[in-house]
Amino acid sequence: MLTLAKLGRWLRDAWLLIGIAAVLFALLEGSLSLLQLVRNRIARTEEPRHDWRADADAYPDRSWVTKYYQEFRASEGVLWRPYVYWRRRPYRGAYINVDRDGLRRTTAPTKPAHASARTIRIFMFGGSALWGTGARDDFTIPSILARELARSGLHAEVTNFGESGHVSTQEVVALMLRLQKGDYPDLVIFYDGVNDTFSAYQQHVAGLPQNEFNRVTEFHLSTDPDRLRAMAVRDGVARLETVRLLGGILGQTLGRTGSGPSQEALNDLALDNPPGVDGVAATYFGNRELLQSLSSHFHFKYLLYWQPTIFQKTSLTRYEQTERSKARAFEGFFRKAYATVRQDSSGSRPEGAFRDLSLVFADVQQPIFVDWVHLGESGNEAIAKIMATDVVALGMPRLPPVRP
């Protein structure tokens, strides 16, 4: 028979067990947190993490590569920017420099004092390949283009608006923001393909910034306080070192599953956007028509280039073969999307202005790529020289030819 005395003893014992468990958990959590703090401090004093691309065979001179990738990692931070979502933080280094507007430095020859022709203004837009991942400031596509134009007697002020992860629609918006402020170029150059295609692969629809499903989820959370509180609690629990330790043990035993976008977010994104492969070309050439209208109204010329990837290169070095194998999961999607763009570019779209560079390295024997999409500096030079030829052909005001 349960008496009040027995019930009291049970409650007392239960309370003691709970208290002891709480103390033990607090001691374990405190010890693990202290250990992690020590690890973090040691890690900060160790040599920076090695970037695998520093081993690329596209770098014949390796004297600067390790230092470059240390700067690259240090300069990766971004700031929120309306409409275009993100831009790099200001950064100053030996090989990478980003100004307060989040724009990578473009180096160009000084205009001769005797020159009478005016300087032409060129705005360049693209993703990380144009920004210059894998290349020093002096050897990004915009910097090399400025030098090549100077050799042809055409002095240009080239601005690199490239940003990692940006798709062509973000770039059109970025251009519109400049025009809105009265900042007018003479020529606009777009260098795209990879980010537009990868975004469509990632989200199953085309025409969106990358990782847009995260913004869908965040918006829904802002309108659902209960769900937001539950997520905050889960996040707080997940940050406990004890939970991380157990998660690591269970993860090694049972395996892990990727988080990925929720089906709810993907469904929302698919409402007003074209399907994946076919939509890549439709969205891109839709932006091309917008550019044509803007160029007519604001009196600038434009050139569009579809960039190459390692998937189109037939003669791969051993290093390049390894990099291509890392991207095997989406190679088929890229091949289909690129074939569609190639086909649509010859259809009833605005004449001229577009050039498909996807096959420019198809038969090149020497190493070109530092990963499946980014070029070494020699690859950037090849692209920039093609662009320079096209720019000169537009008939811009020229200076007297520069003699060697």
In a shared domain, residues 186 and 58 = yes
Per the domain annotation, does 328 fall within a domain?
Answer: yes
Domain count, the chain: 3
Residue found under tokens 């940050």: 239
pLDDT of residue 251: 52
Per the domain annotation, does 158 fall within a domain?
Answer: yes
Per the domain annotation, does 344 fall within a domain?
Answer: yes
Confidence of residue 350 (pLDDT cuts 50, 70, 90): low
336: domain CATH number is 3.40.50.1110
pLDDT digit string, tens, across residues 32-71: 677 777 776 665 555 667 899 999 999 999 999 999 999 9
- Residue 303 near residue 391, CB atoms below 8 Å: yes
In a shared domain, residues 314 and 167 = yes
Query: Does residue 88 sit in helix, strand or coil?
Result: strand
In a shared domain, residues 258 and 159 = no
Confidence of residue 249 (pLDDT cuts 50, 70, 90): low
Average pLDDT over residues 101-130: 86
What angle, 0 to 180 degrees and rounded to 10, lies between the N-to-C axes of helices 328-344 and 318-326?
Answer: 90
Per the domain annotation, does 398 fall within a domain?
Answer: no
The whole domain housing 36 covers: 1-46
Structure-derived torsion over alpha carbons of residues 219, 222, 224, 229, reported in degrees to the nearest 10? 120
In a shared domain, residues 185 and 329 = yes
pLDDT of residue 169: 97
Residue found under tokens 């894998």: 134
- Using the predicted structure, report yes or no on whether residue 155 has a pLDDT greater than 50: yes
Between 280 and 45, name the one with better pLDDT: 280
Residue found under tokens 């890392």: 326
pLDDT of residue 91: 98
Q: 233, 253, 269 — which closes off a domain?
A: 269
Residue 273 carries which side chain, given as an amino acid letter? Answer: N
Which pTM does this prediction carry?
0.82
- Residue 354 near residue 287, CB atoms below 8 Å: no
258-267, 280-289, 370-379: segment of lowest average pLDDT = 258-267
The helix (run of H) or strand (run of E) holding residue 304 is: strand 301-306
- Using the predicted structure, report yes or no on whether residue 335 has a pLDDT greater than 70: yes
In a shared domain, residues 248 and 336 = no
In a shared domain, residues 182 and 284 = yes
In a shared domain, residues 73 and 172 = yes
In a shared domain, residues 147 and 181 = yes
In a shared domain, residues 204 and 216 = no
pLDDT of residue 2: 60
Please give the structure tokens belonging to residue 145: 């283009």
pLDDT of residue 348: 47
Per the domain annotation, does 183 fall within a domain?
Answer: yes
In a shared domain, residues 114 and 35 = no
pLDDT of residue 22: 76
How far CA 47 is from CA of 42, 51, 86, in Å, comes to 10, 12, 29
In a shared domain, residues 334 and 285 = yes
Per the domain annotation, does 389 fall within a domain?
Answer: yes
Residues facing residue 104 across a β-bridge: 98, 160
Query: Does residue 123 sit in helix, strand or coil?
Result: strand
CA-atom Rg of the chain in angstroms? 27
Average pLDDT over residues 118-147: 97
Per the domain annotation, does 399 fall within a domain?
Answer: no
In a shared domain, residues 21 and 165 = no
Q: How far is 118 from 109, CA to CA, in rounded Å?
A: 14
pLDDT of residue 208: 92
Query: How far, in whole angstroms, is CA 86 from its chain's centroid?
Result: 10
Per the domain annotation, does 402 fall within a domain?
Answer: no
pLDDT of residue 36: 72
